[in-house]
């Protein structure tokens, strides 16, 4: 499972790197040929996504390392660190887009040269490709439950939104309304900052041992109670560790049972939970005596 997680995340990141490199070169050429500053800026944004994908690969590779003497609980949180870095980069990207747009509005320095049709085509191609990459990356991020890969998916969406701004700006300039580009960019900035905040919050929650949701905890309790020999659940603690979950549970069993039988009940609860929730990495079951 761990190898599959790492292989999938790295494969998705490599696909991102290849497409971002192709898009960056294409948009850069289109920007220079069609005299579009917006498209040149968009090309630089796509190039920055290569850096993001590399961060994901490094974070996933480190988080996939086996437990060792210094890290007995594994390295899963390194994936959260990668997500936090990406959220920060994404937030910075949004601020950069917003700042440039506000500055353009205040200075009144709109495009003086009408951009060519190639820039318009490049913007449309970029939107379609980056949106496809968003859905592709998002699908696998959900499948392997990776916050870093999900952050990379939203980086693709931010690039698609950036291209929407470029499209509006280029189209507006060709129609005689160059002010449309900075206005669109400010709106896009807000969407990007919202995505960055959500990614950052999710990664922080996983870094500080946030508990599972109430529905999951209730299901875990019911799973234990449905195990033969379990009379009650006295305590349940869960904590999200990276993309894994740790569970501590105290169950009640007949005080007249032998140690061997009590241990068998705890093992049955352990196995039932482990089979039902593959994300759970470690389960600690303690048996309390119950007077019957």
The answer to whether the beta carbons of residues 209 and 239 sit under 8 Å apart is yes
The answer to whether the beta carbons of residues 211 and 217 sit under 8 Å apart is yes
Q: Please say if the pLDDT value at position 2 is more than 60.
A: no
Whole-angstrom CA distances from 287 to 218, 251, 253, 259, 262 are 19, 5, 7, 10, 7
Pick the more confident residue, 69 or 263: 263
pLDDT in tens, 112-125: 567 788 988 988 99
Q: Would you say how long the chain is, in residues?
A: 292
DSSP element (H, E) containing 95:
helix 77-107
Q: Which pLDDT value is given to residue 203?
A: 82
Which pair of structure tokens corresponds to residue 4?
A: 């599959």
Q: Please say if the pLDDT value at position 78 is more than 60.
A: yes
Q: Which pLDDT value is given to residue 127?
A: 92
Q: How do beta strands 244-254 and 232-241 pair? A: antiparallel
Q: Please say if the pLDDT value at position 182 is more than 80.
A: no
pLDDT band at 111 (very low <50, low <70, confident <90, very high): low
pTM of the entire structure? 0.66
How does the average pLDDT of the chain come out, rounded? 84
Measure the CA angle with vertex 70, ends 56 and 279; round to 5°.
Answer: 50
Q: How do beta strands 244-254 and 280-290 pair? A: parallel
**Most confidently modeled range among 101-110, 119-128, 153-162, 189-198:** 119-128
Measure the CA–CA gap between 53 and 136, rounded to whole angstroms.
14
DSSP 8-state class, residue 46:
H
**Mean pLDDT calculated for residue range 78-101:** 82
The answer to whether the beta carbons of residues 287 and 251 sit under 8 Å apart is yes
Q: Which pLDDT value is given to residue 110?
A: 61
pLDDT in tens, 13-62: 899 889 989 998 998 898 888 877 667 777 777 777 787 778 778 877 77
The answer to whether the beta carbons of residues 95 and 189 sit under 8 Å apart is yes
**Most confidently modeled range among 73-77, 90-94, 246-250:** 246-250
Q: Which pLDDT value is given to residue 1?
A: 47
Q: What is the 3-state secondary structure (H, E, C) of 189-244?
A: HHHHHHHHHHHHHHHHHHHCCCCCCHHHHHHHHHHHHCCCCCCEEEEEEEEEECCE
Q: Please say if the pLDDT value at position 88 is more than 70.
A: yes
Q: Which pLDDT value is given to residue 188?
A: 74
Q: Please say if the pLDDT value at position 155 is more than 60.
A: yes
pLDDT in tens, 133-142: 999 999 998 8
pLDDT in tens, 212-266: 889 999 999 999 999 999 999 999 999 887 678 889 999 999 999 999 999 999 9
Domains by residue range for the chain, with CATH: 2-207 (1.20.1510.10), 214-290 (3.30.70.1350)
């Amino acid at each position: 499972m761990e190898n599959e997680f790492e292989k999938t995340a790295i494969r998705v990141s490599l696909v991102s790197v290849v497409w971002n490199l192709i898009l960056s070169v294409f948009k850069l050429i289109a920007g220079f040929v069609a005299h579009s500053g917006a498209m040149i800026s968009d090309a630089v944004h796509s190039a920055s996504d290569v850096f993001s994908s590399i961060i994901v690969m490094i974070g996933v590779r480190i988080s996939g390392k086996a437990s060792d003497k210094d890290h007995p609980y594994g390295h899963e949180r390194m994936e959260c660190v990668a997500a936090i870095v990406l959220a920060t980069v994404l937030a910075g990207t949004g601020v950069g887009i917003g700042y440039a747009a506000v500055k353009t509005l205040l200075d009144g320095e709109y495009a003086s040269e009408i951009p060519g049709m190639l820039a318009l085509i490049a913007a449309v191609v970029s939107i379609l490709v980056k949106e496809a990459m968003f859905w592709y990356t998002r699908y696998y991020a959900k499948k392997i439950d990776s916050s870093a890969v999900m952050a990379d998916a939203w980086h693709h969406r931010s690039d698609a939104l950036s291209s929407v701004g470029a499209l509006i700006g280029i189209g507006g300039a060709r129609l005689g309304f160059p002010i449309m580009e900075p206005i669109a960019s400010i709106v896009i900035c807000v969407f990007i900052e919202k995505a960055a905040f959500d990614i950052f919050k999710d990664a922080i929650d996983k870094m500080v041992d946030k508990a599972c949701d109430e529905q999951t905890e209730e299901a875990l309790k019911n799973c234990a109670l449905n195990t033969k020999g379990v009379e009650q659940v006295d305590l349940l603690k869960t904590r999200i560790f990276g993309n894994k979950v740790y569970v501590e549970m105290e169950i009640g069993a007949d005080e007249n049972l032998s140690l061997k039988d009590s241990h068998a009940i705890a093992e049955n609860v352990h196995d039932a939970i482990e089979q039902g929730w593959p994300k759970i990495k470690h389960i600690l079951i303690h048996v309390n005596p119950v007077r019957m």
